A and B are shown apart, each in its own frame.
Chain A
Amino acid sequence: MIKVKNLTYSYHTGGKKHPGSRPDKGGRQVLQGLDFAVGDGEIFGFLGPNGSGKSTTQKILTGILKGYGGKISFWGQDISVMQKKEFLQKIGVLFEFPYLYANLSAADNLNYFASFYPKGQLRDVGELLDQLEFKKDFLKKPVSSYSKGMRQRVSMARALLSSPKVLFLDEPTSGLDPSGAVLFRRIIEEERRKGTTVFLTTHNMLDADLLCDRVAFLADGQIVAMDTPQSLKEQNNSGDRAPTLEDMFIHYTGRGLS
């Protein structure tokens, strides 16, 4: 269970802020008192336009950014008092871009990243790549020779490698062809079935609609709506046509899809 209470963050100063308070001179308050909770085994969609604070929230939740205000707890324990090493062993992160060592092969990349986790919690690299339908003849070739979709598969394998309890996914289907996107959605659902909590950040409303148990719309550092995709659509059904999650995005954030 992830619980976030009154989360604030201001760039430039990085100092603690309270909701509604003004940022320091020259600072930019990007998060203005977020409150949400994500249950175990839930897929939670964190949606919003560029610059709304999604990435900042994810960075704070993954322990990369410090100096935030408010409280964050994972499994009932405050993140600020948790052993960082133990915490990082329990999370998996897929970045928006497939950050990999281009001179190393997929296997070498994954073995390298695997060396930082306890052996007992590691998944088999070969099985993972099989599951992600990675072309085997590329296994020993350098990543620099891979397509974006293949790199994304290796990045997903890296995120899943340590059997994380919480999976942070940033635009997971970006750069994938439709069959790759379907495969990734299937894998994310399998993770959920295993009890993994998934924190999904995306602009892809189809992914959010198909995968998420609940979604939160973020605009200007505040959560403006949070519910199941179905409920949000029903609440805003004006009758002309059934609204989509894209309509909800525009409705709640006040902006077109970026």
Chain B
Amino acid sequence: MGKKFCALLNKDLRMMISGKYFFMAAGFLVLYTLYVNLGYVRFMKEDPYHVYLYDPQGLEEDVASEIIRVSSKEELEDALQSDGGSAGVDLSSGKVQVILYEGTPKSDQYRAAYALSRLQSSHEYRAEVVGDHTLEQKARREITCELLFFEISAVGFLGIAAILFKEKNMGVIRVHGILPLPKGLFLFSKMIIFLLADLAFAVLLTLFNTGWAQGLRVLPGVLIQTIFLSLVMALVGIGCSLLLKDFRQFTLAYLVIAIFVATPVFLTANTPVKLEGIAYHPFYPIYMGLKNAYFGNWAADPLYFAGVTCGIVVLFAGVWLAFCKEMAKEG
């Protein structure tokens, strides 16, 4: 049994190599790492809204260093016009007037409150950092979680399907129907090889982007969530490649799957938008489990484990049926 499984693993590994799977994964790993370290973290370090102050009577002497003083009302208007996200404070009438170019109600309130807080230098507007959970570390964990989820559920999934369609089109799946081989091994081998690739990707992505010390601390939880997501996506990928006619058909299905999987989950988890019934979305608990794992809050909820395990078993059964059907197809 071990020898047969090793032969299957070896063959699947070679299929992945010839399908440039690892090349693609390495490329995305570099791309994500560059994006996080050279792009995303820097965006997060950007100064908050600029605050322009027009105070011809010198009513506010002790303002915070972030305040930019302007000498005329025209200059204030020009500044606000050219710097749309900024806030202006006009003290020319003797009263505090906050001037904004309208955005969204929430952000307008934030900008106004921030502008007013800057009128006094003693007011601290930054939240206190507890332990090593800095703003940068928070940003790194959030974006690493999103990128890992996106990689496994969208990019890697596409790679899996491409390889499996190649194998299907070669017709070799049918040959396995007459080999003295427990048929489940054929599916297990694929699940294991894609799982190992995803785990390696998760380890490297986490360590490169959250730092070694922080990364190692959250890795156990992250890897457990990665196992769930990887197995689910591998089974969905195998199922699609067995049920759909060709890769062209798959690309259409992929759009639906990717939009269905990614959009509502990202929208609910990362924005104030709360979609009704999102708790029943099959990928939402996995995404939140992954996110919680990145923040070290991962708790072993037996119900969650049971639910995901059941889902994987059901998917495996479906894929098994599709696999048997494919083996029996016309030559």
A interface with B by C-beta (< 8 Å): 55, 59, 62-65, 84-86, 88-89, 91, 93, 95-97, 99-104, 108, 112-113, 115-117, 158, 170
Contact = CB atoms under 8 A, between A and B. Distances in A.
Contact of A113 (B6, B14, B171, B179): B179
A89 B170 contact: no
A116 B175 contact: no
Contact of B331 (A89, A112, A115, A170): A170
Contacts of A91: 178
Given A89-B180, A103-B15, A115-B4, A95 B170 contact: no
Query: Which DSSP category, helix, strand, loop or mixed, fits chain B's interface?
Result: helix
A113 B175 contact: yes
B253 interface: no
5 A-B pairs closest in CB distance:
A115-B7, A99-B171, A103-B18, A88-B180, A96-B331
A212 B11 CA distance: 37
B278 interface: no
B181 interface: yes
Contacts of B172: 99-101
Contact of A97 (B177, B327, B331): B331
A95 B4 contact: no
A9 to B, nearest CB: 11
Which of A63, A88, A103 has most chain B Cβ within 10 Å?
A: A103
B171 A95 contact: yes
B69 interface: no
B96 interface: no
30 contacts: A55-B330, A55-B331, A62-B177, A63-B178, A64-B177, A64-B178, A64-B328, A85-B180, A88-B179, A88-B181, A91-B178, A93-B178, A95-B174, A96-B331, A99-B170, A99-B171, A99-B172, A99-B174, A99-B175, A99-B331, A101-B11, A103-B18, A103-B166, A108-B14, A112-B7, A112-B11, A115-B3, A115-B4, A116-B7, A117-B180
B169 to A, nearest CB: 9
A122 B125 CA distance: 77
Contacts of A103: 14-15, 18, 166
B306 to A, nearest CB: 32
Contacts of A100: 170, 172
Interface in B1-31: 3-4, 6-7, 10-11, 14-15, 18
Nearest to A159: B178
A117 B166 CA distance: 25
Contacts of A115: 3-4, 6-7
Contact of B170 (A85, A102, A108, A112): A102
Nearest to A158: B175
B45 to A, nearest CB: 46
A148 to B, nearest CB: 13
Contacts of B177: 62-64
A17 to B, nearest CB: 17
B1 to A, nearest CB: 11
Contacts of B170: 99-102
A85 B182 CA distance: 8
A112 B13 CA distance: 13
Interface in B306-331: 327-328, 330-331
Contacts of B167: 101
Interface in B176-230: 177-181
Contacts of B6: 115
A85 B1 CA distance: 12
A22 B171 CA distance: 33
A165 B331 CA distance: 22
A104 B10 CA distance: 12
Contact of A116 (B10, B14, B180, B330): B180
A209 B57 CA distance: 113
A62 to B, nearest CB: 5
Contacts of A170: 331
A88 B7 contact: no
